[in-house]
Structure 1
């Protein structure tokens, strides 16, 4: 494995960095303060191809590798983690499973719209009574002639209310447990799909988290993704992709926090000297940099192995576990260095600190990642 980025990787990263600094960063505070979904930014991201980074070119995507993908999510997250979340969900949890499990007809019909930003996608697995225990979901899909009738509720669904395509998981054969779960490509809006109020969180504001209900929602049989009973497998595969994106998001949060801490420590003076002259501050900054580089190496390694097809589920799990811990630790350390100024509303570090926590929760909590890693270790 070559740890050096290729010229193509660096060029693409720099292009995304420019987009993030010019288009995302100037509106990041407004997105957070107003919990505002950034329609204009997402439209521009779609025109750049960022909603289909890893979608093959023949289906309207950029056809980039996973290393390019994590570099892009990291750069966007430095400007706005919530914008990065919207882009990550569309890439990891909608386009990727559609590429991997979809029929040729599904890929031809849906991917060009999703990869271009004409459509936006959502991933609907979590329910009010089914979070970590995804196999216990209660949403049902009953066959009726050439359709399935879906009933149930979903919760914490990113991009909801803006989505034109929702990947919904439901039980087609409840008596079979996880082997009775199937996946469906649901078009929105639909009168049988009732969205509820936006869920306001402490961080990731503007990413449009919502709950919704399905009341006798009719879905054509050709909109099943994969085969009946393969939904749980598709969900787990998709979450592995999602974890890689969230790891990159967490890395971007940490990197942005370190940059702000470095700038402040160099300019802020106390006792007649810049803070950066004090060994205590120097050591804290050094530890922050070490932690970021460790997380970055693990993320790149996971992306490389997943691209080559040699990864196990523990690779993205390790990357997400470490990167989310680093995001919380480094953003907290940065806030400590900035002191009162970092604690104030309007400070980027204050926002990053709030945004960081969710990276330990979604796409599987940190303890779920530990379960995955331990299971892999013990199966050798």
Structure 2
């Protein structure tokens, strides 16, 4: 129930815990893109290893030290974190504070105490934390707590706010609990406690100057980290499903045909391909923003929520396609662990329900509005004359902004976005024009919702969630178009572009419908529906033809398939299931025309039978295929048998086998056997 010791040693030696630590502190100094690519590749091979590596590089002591630590703290801890001498964890969540992290009951009190034989002014801590990744093996604990100064040692304030500290594991009063076991994914995770733990102020991250700034430190760090690790894990799972399950669907046969030929399977394959294309596009666009120094908290919330939700759908589809081979765990099962880990990705770094209903739209609605924040600031000014002047200016600007959006929304709605300015050409340009329409509609709808509902919109979480969904799909669809053009607008990827854009546009339309239908004042909902969709609701889910074309990209070797799955674990090792899949997939493409010849000959009555070797022998005798073709089919069948095989374990059978052997013997004394059974 752990990574093997050689893997732990490799992670430390190769500084996987130090991807974000600069080189001058002994780290790797990776960009957000490089960091994401590493996590993505590891996730396609081992979810346990990916989680182990990504947590110290996301919200953890390393990131907090880099941004807020003192120079002395950086000089001591960063090199030790980089080379693995220290293993970090960060303790935020507790039994009574999960999504509402600001309600943590864990406390620190400013007081005098003994430290290393001296009486000093410091902090006495008490805490209880759970679900802490790497907690059971951590040597240093990053801790968030509320700091109090009831005796006013530091000033007049008694409640100083959330503060962060670094606590060595061996500090007196620290207790590490037994491990949690999250859904049979054996990464290190568990609770810890502190009882009357006395620490000096030097152990506060950033020292005394950062007292009370812990919440801002955590939110700013999370705004960056949640845009890298979990989106990378989700995209890695999607790419793995494209590569591995797509190959399986091309190899596995039922009713004498590869299962990928059946439209029901193609429907699932199309979702796998299209959603993975969306995930990779959104991931890359977000990383480009992070790498130029932006901290787009709303966008990172979007990719955390929507990429992990698409991960859920993609892996569920992959499990449906793989059937029995997907549910039998073992080294040959390439998607089973990814399936088990879905709720973990959904839950951590901001639970998805909370992220969708309260953060994506609610976090940025006022701050992103060009006039509303100015109106609020004007209303709070102490000088009444200046306040009225500022408010009137902001209100006038707001009115003009709203009228502009109203005219733009109506015009674009009547033309369905046609004639609006847009980059690109062909299909891509038309999708940009539709995004212009949806963007104007979103701006008007958000303004109307905020003005009519006011503060109640925050409590109308489902309305806020739908507005967030529209904003999210605008971002994802924009990312898809940029990704397509960055790839050179290849014609063979047009099916992926079409599927991804039509899926996003349909989701936007349905979110608008849900928003308008549930506005408290129904006439306003009817009016908004007419303003946004004056000529009806044109968007539908991707067509069967588009879905079939998207699915087809996963069933044949091609440059587009390689681009879509770039970054996942691939090997030619025939002892590994990935290597077997790769070899069988390439062989299936070569064998397909020969198998088609056999099917046609059988249909015409030229050959008879069901077994492939019998059909091949008859076809060879009839001169329909060559000896080389027969040998290729034989190799293909051997590879197919490997790929559809599943793992079985003797040690799981030993007890049951003994019981079966004992009870299967004909009893000479039935009563005795009944007694033994009892």
Shorter chain as denominator, the TM-score bin is 0.7 to 0.9
Answer with 133-142 or 88-97: which moved more. 88-97
- Report 1:28-177 matches (<5 A): 35-94=1-60, 95-144=62-111, 145-173=120-148
Answer with 180-189 or 248-257: which moved more. 248-257
Unaligned runs of 5+ in 1: 1-34
Separation in 2 of the partners of 1:121 and 1:312? 26
Q: CA contact under 8 A between 1:165 and 1:185: conserved in structure 2?
A: yes
Q: Which residue of 2 aligns with 1:189?
A: 170
1:238 paired with 2:205, answer: no
- Determine which structure has more spread, i.e. the larger CA radius of gyration: 2
Shift of 1:378: 1.7
Shift of 1:179: 6.1
Answer with 179-188 or 150-159: which moved more. 179-188
Q: CA contact under 8 A between 1:135 and 1:177: conserved in structure 2?
A: no
Separation in 2 of the partners of 1:217 and 1:328? 41
Answer with 123-132 or 46-55: which moved more. 46-55
SS at match of 1:55: coil
1:375 paired with 2:362, answer: yes
Q: Which residue of 2 aligns with 1:265?
A: 249
Higher-RCO chain (CA-CA 8 Å, sequence separation at least 6): 1
Q: Pick closer, same or farther for the CA change 1:229–1:197 going to 2, 3 Å.
A: same
SS at match of 2:341: helix
Q: CA contact under 8 A between 2:56 and 2:89: conserved in structure 1?
A: yes
Q: Pick closer, same or farther for the CA change 1:311–1:50 going to 2, 3 Å.
A: same
Separation in 2 of the partners of 1:342 and 1:74? 21
Separation in 2 of the partners of 1:179 and 1:288? 49
Q: CA contact under 8 A between 1:61 and 1:115: conserved in structure 2?
A: yes
Separation in 2 of the partners of 1:241 and 1:161? 26
Q: What is the TM-score of this pair, normalised by structure 2? A: 0.49
Q: Which residue of 1 aligns with 2:199?
A: 219
Separation in 1 of the partners of 2:200 and 2:276? 46
Q: How large is the Cα RMSD of the aligned pairs?
A: 1.9
1:301 paired with 2:285, answer: yes
Shift of 1:178: 9.4
Shift of 1:221: 1.0
Q: Deviations over 1:323-356 (max 9, x none)?
A: 1011111111010001122122323322211112
SS at match of 1:180: strand
Q: Pick closer, same or farther for the CA change 1:78–1:192 going to 2, 3 Å.
A: same
Separation in 2 of the partners of 1:84 and 1:97? 21
Q: Which residue of 2 aligns with 1:357?
A: 343
Q: Pick closer, same or farther for the CA change 1:178–1:39 going to 2, 3 Å.
A: farther
Separation in 1 of the partners of 2:272 and 2:224? 26
Q: Deviations over 1:52-93 (max 9, x none)?
A: 112111111111111111111111111112211111111122
Separation in 1 of the partners of 2:346 and 2:159? 25
Separation in 2 of the partners of 1:84 and 1:177? 42
User: Residue 309 of structure 2: which of 315, 325, 334 is its match?
Assistant: 325
Answer with 251-260 or 324-333: which moved more. 251-260
Q: Deviations over 1:191-250 (max 9, x none)?
A: 4111111112215x2211101110111222111013110111112122223312112112
Q: Pick closer, same or farther for the CA change 1:220–1:228 going to 2, 3 Å.
A: same
Q: Deviations over 1:265-302 (max 9, x none)?
A: 11111110111222332332122111112111212222
Q: CA contact under 8 A between 1:88 and 1:242: conserved in structure 2?
A: no
Q: Pick closer, same or farther for the CA change 1:186–1:256 going to 2, 3 Å.
A: same
Separation in 1 of the partners of 2:283 and 2:56? 19
Q: What is the TM-score of this pair, normalised by structure 1? A: 0.86
SS at match of 1:198: coil
User: Residue 206 of structure 1: which of 183, 186, 194 is its match?
Assistant: 186
Q: CA contact under 8 A between 1:257 and 1:331: conserved in structure 2?
A: yes
Answer with 157-166 or 238-247: which moved more. 238-247
Q: CA contact under 8 A between 2:223 and 2:296: conserved in structure 1?
A: no
Separation in 2 of the partners of 1:216 and 1:377? 40
Shift of 1:107: 0.6
Q: CA contact under 8 A between 1:258 and 1:331: conserved in structure 2?
A: no
Query: Which of the pair is proportionally richer in strand?
Result: 1
Q: Pick closer, same or farther for the CA change 1:177–1:210 going to 2, 3 Å.
A: farther
Task: Give the length in aligned residue pairs.
Answer: 345
Q: Deviations over 1:26-70 (max 9, x none)?
A: xxxxxxxxx214443132122222211121111111111111111
Shift of 1:377: 4.5
Answer with 363-372 or 161-170: which moved more. 363-372
Q: CA contact under 8 A between 1:184 and 1:224: conserved in structure 2?
A: yes
Q: Deviations over 1:296-329 (max 9, x none)?
A: 1212222221222233211211111111011111
Separation in 2 of the partners of 1:199 and 1:167? 19
Separation in 1 of the partners of 2:187 and 2:254? 39
Separation in 2 of the partners of 1:278 and 1:107? 58
